[in-house]
Amino acid sequence: MNATASVKFRSISATDAAMLTDLMRRAFVQAFSHNTGAEDLKAYMDSHFTIRRQRSELSDPKTVNVLVTVDGHPAGYAQMDAHPPPDFVEVRRPVQLRRFYLLKSHWGTYIADELMQVCLERLAGLGYDGVWLSCWDQNARALAFYRRWGFRSCGTAPFIVGNDRQTDFILVRWIGPDATDGGPELTKAAGEYGNEGQP
């Protein structure tokens, strides 16, 4: 990325549904096409990444959505909502980091760190005291990124991509005064929870 590139962050609204859907599909394929079958990827995207579904999700007042642009072009996004975590995630007021993606051309840059910082600041400002997510156990890049940001493993959960049944780690991080401690180390299994991410 050019050192003089203009990186900006803004909220995403329902009027951005078409743009976001296109970004979601491109980022998902770039993140997982090397180790997930094309038919499974398509089935998942056709179910989750549609303009109609994103318009509905973006209209939900309980969601927090952040877009990052580079020189005016969509480069990544994050989606958060108050989806309840597994019972073994002991957080008083939890929020889920449901999706966190950058296009591959921006992997390994500082943008992922800035996007995470923006997300945590917004969530803390809304009064949440802990953020949780699930991340594929084979996604070493994303796991290393989340752990560097203080997320700690709390267990596992299945994640279904088409007909491909995968295993996700459940990760949690405190927000606010306890943010230096990522949270309790647990070794339980959850039901089915969904998150995708590739910083």
Percentage of the chain modeled with pLDDT above 90 = 74
Q: At which residue do the structure tokens 């480069």 appear?
A: 75
Tell me the average pLDDT of the chain: 87
Q: Where are the beta strands (DSSP E) in 12-163?
A: 64-70, 73-81, 94-102, 130-136, 152-161
Range of the domain at 86: 7-198
Neighbours of 34 (CB within 10 A): 7
Q: Would you state the structure tokens that stand for residue 166, as one six-digit string?
A: 């995968």
Q: Quick one: DSSP state of residue 161?
A: E
Q: Tens of pLDDT along 44-83?
A: 999 999 999 999 999 999 999 999 999 999 999 999 998 8
Q: Comparing C-alpha atoms, which of 35, 45, 50, 13 is closest to residue 142? A: 35
Domain count, the chain: 1
Confidence at 179, pLDDT banded by 50, 70, 90: low
Q: Which helix (H) or strand (E) holds 143?
A: helix 140-148
Specify which of 47-51, 152-156, 178-182 reaches the highest per-range mean pLDDT: 47-51
- Cα–Cα distances in Å, from 15 out to 18, 19, 82, 121, 130? 8, 9, 22, 24, 29
Q: At which residue do the structure tokens 């039901």 appear?
A: 191
Q: Residue 20 domain-assigned?
A: yes
Q: Tens of pLDDT along 81-135?
A: 988 888 888 888 999 999 999 999 999 899 999 999 999 999 999 999 999 999 9
Report the amino acid identity of residue 64.
Answer: V
Q: Residue 2 domain-assigned?
A: no
Residue 199, pLDDT > 60, answer no
| CATH number, domain with residue 174 | 3.40.630.30
Q: Where are the alpha helices (DSSP H) in 50-96?
A: 51-58
Q: Residue 1 domain-assigned?
A: no
Q: Residue 54 domain-assigned?
A: yes
| Residue 85: per-residue pLDDT | 85
- Cα–Cα distances in Å, from 17 out to 55, 163, 171? 5, 27, 28
Q: Residue 30 domain-assigned?
A: yes
